[in-house]
Structure 1
């Protein structure tokens, strides 16, 4: 079957980030299952219009804004030859169901952009963006399957976009950290890993570190990543007297070296779908301090692999307290072990398989069932043959009826936890939690 993955950027784009990694991994997973896959995206300066010699063919059209109408025209011209479309929404939808006729569409939502439109655009354009992401998308994608990368993204879609269709959770994967990491730095060292864009609030982090130097004179911050804010952030870092280094994009080897030395990863982002950098840091044994916002409250396990900072607690105080706690060698070692264990729960092969299962189920079953307010997003059935069973987007009463009709007389059902939805499997009720010191 011919599958087209539509995303506004590819990994070769100068501003590529986690969404591009996700789209690329999904495209590769579809190709590995025997489908003919085309990755349809914008063309950045210096990129070729086509890359056709790889497992996934890449077709680049237009720029930041023109890619949207050009992608629709490209799909419209080929609609009879396309079996399925993976439509990755990054704030402004592509609205591919309007162009592909009977082809099945799986929409991917990383996070809800409602508030971020006001950061990037004038009021009238921000209002248009919110309408496109909300009411317009609800109507156009009503027959599509929808995938979100975290439970809190689903929650934001329900409450802020008033989304009523079925939404399946397929989180990001993760990569394995190298074995030859350097020892942790002798002095408090933090990292900020990710794209350098306004909503990540890296400028606030640099200001916070500068403020903390009176209390922690040997504090250091390494900013890793590239983006449109890089030049401005370098100028801001210069005022910190050497305490802050903006490295820009670095090699994988250098990134692992910087992460391996770090005590803590810090992000002040306004919101994430997931926070791919958080799991990358966790794989290196590095916890994350973050604001209590959607996405990050899923990828960072509060008190175990990092800490969520409540709105009423100044970030400088939270950061100071976390660094003070991490001076305890036993606590730091325990947190590092928990981080590595959590990071190891996610891999791209599993992500690709789960995404493919959603797509293939959509192809087999057609239209998506509705979601009713108050219905759990996922349900766990216990006391069934083979052990606990997790089922997404199914009313508990319907599931229980089917199980008992199949002979599972002692079956019981309950709502799945956020962690179970991320992992795609049920967790025994007696599994202990391991909270640590919290800012």
Structure 2
């Protein structure tokens, strides 16, 4: 195990709005849990603080992680702060996950306890989709100015280059931001999964049924595709509050023979639906990353998505998928053109095999063990140095004497390595690709 990533014995709190078993759980919950259980597997004592859905236990233990569930959708925030205040000396470090707004744990922790605030994507434009104007305004104030002040002595962690840019440009955050991307399932072996045989196309969309996923746009796209390619079927996999509106939209547009809404399904069924598809689709207005894109790629299935935050990072345009222009005037037509072009490319068996191989290779760059290792490195160094902040938030490639391979490091982990300059053979700034993937040579 990497010496600078040793977290054995550290008392770590992971604070997230939901846990992975919550009915409304999504990619953010997967990230928080994978990191939590990965740290526990490395010997850390991990508590996962979250809200409580009906029927869930207030406390339980799973895969080495102790779950503490407090309050509901909004009351979880003050209850977590109170619970943490009463145990403020019980933690060596905290991972505070921001899903719209963070938990503001620095308010109740000793100053010496480092905090990493994980941001999946900036929500400023989304608050208005879910809340009345006054509450949307409050959300933007908490996400922006209040967060900037609260975490000024700490650091943010972004899951993608898009999120990093949004944190700088839309939240005006000037402090350090580190990059720790999502992991993924292991890629499927070549020949055992991937786009199905050429014929009537099947496309799939794996998504939470919530407003910012733009389900109306997805149905408009399905209608245009059905006109161009009779026999095409769109499988929508996922559940959420917009499920009734989706069903109504399918009926109103007369798409009952084109769109199949599967709702919530098991992982096995979801995997089977994606693996047999020619394409995976996303009409989201923006993501932090695009976990469903990488999970489809692991099965050899490329994605058509809009050129928006997160998805432009997860989809390598022309290599593992295709990006359409996000133009409100003709978004559905533009996306239909992109899907049509993609399906024509996939009609060529050689091109189909090339794309499937590229998808698997890209997905193979991301796994949860690597994600955990990078977070562990930041946490361990932050605890040793007494801060998660840094004076230089760039990532660097550092090659030390005695190390066979150079490594990509940032923040306190980099500062700790460079504190002994005589031990460092070479150092240079990491490229954006090296920073995302966490290893040199990209």
TM-score by length of 2: 0.88
After superposition, the Cα gap between the structure-2 partners of 1:28 and 1:328, relative to the gap in structure 1 and judged at 3 Å, is same
**Alpha-carbon offset, residue 389 of structure 1:** 4.6
Q: How does 1:214-363 map to 2 (within 5 A)?
A: 214-238=227-251, 239-312=254-327, 314-363=334-383
**Alpha-carbon distance between aligned partners in 2 of 1:34 and 1:406, rounded to the nearest angstrom:** 28
User: Are the aligned partners of 1:380 and 1:390 in contact in 2 as well (CA < 8 Å)?
Assistant: yes
Q: SS of 2:435's equivalent?
A: helix
- The total of aligned residue pairs comes to 420
- The Cα of 1:49 is off from its aligned counterpart by 1.4
Single out whichever of 100-109 and 189-198 deviates more from structure 2.
Answer: 100-109
Q: Verify: 1:150 aligned to 2:149, yes or no.
A: no
Q: Aligned to 1:157, what secondary structure does the other structure show?
A: helix
Counterpart in the other structure of 1:213 = 226
Partner of 1:92: 101
1:234 offset after TM fit, Å?
Answer: 2.2
User: Please, which runs of 5 or more residues in structure 1 have no aligned partner?
Assistant: 429-439
Please, which of 43, 48, 56 is the counterpart of residue 57 of structure 2?
Answer: 48
Please list the CA deviations of residues 384-436 of structure 1 after superposition, one character each: whole Å capped at 9, or x if unmatched: 98555534359x9x99x98986675xx573x53332112101115xxxxxxxx
| Equivalent of residue 392 in structure 1, options 410, 415, 421 | 410
1:82: how far off?
2.0
Give the SS at the match of 2:28.
helix
Contact residue 195 and residue 300 of structure 2 kept, 8 A: no
Within the alignment, does 1:33 sit opposite 2:46 as a pair? no
Residues 369 and 352 from structure 1, CA distance in 2 versus in 1: closer, same or farther, beyond 3 angstroms? closer
The 2-side partners of 1:389 and 1:35 are apart by 23
In structure 1, C-alpha distance between the alignment counterparts of 2:267 and 2:243, rounded to whole Å? 19
Unaligned runs of 5+ residues in structure 2 are: 1-9
* Offset of residue 181 of structure 1: 4.0
Distance 1:191 1:100 in 2: 45
1:232-278 deviation per Cα after TM superposition (whole angstroms, max 9, x unaligned): 21232232031100111111221121111111111011111111101
Post-superposition Cα deviations, 1:289-338, rounded to whole Å, max 9, x if no partner, equal 11111111111111111112123562222222222222122111100000
Considering Cα pairs closer than 8 Å and 6+ residues apart, tell me whether 1 or 2 has the greater RCO. Answer: 2
State the shift of 1:87 in Å: 0.6
Q: Per-residue deviation at 1:379?
A: 3.5
The residue that corresponds to 1:434 in the other structure is: none
**Residue 293 of structure 2 contacts residue 315 of structure 2 at CA under 8 Å; is this kept in 1?**
yes
Q: Distance in 2 between the 1:118 and 1:241 partners?
A: 31
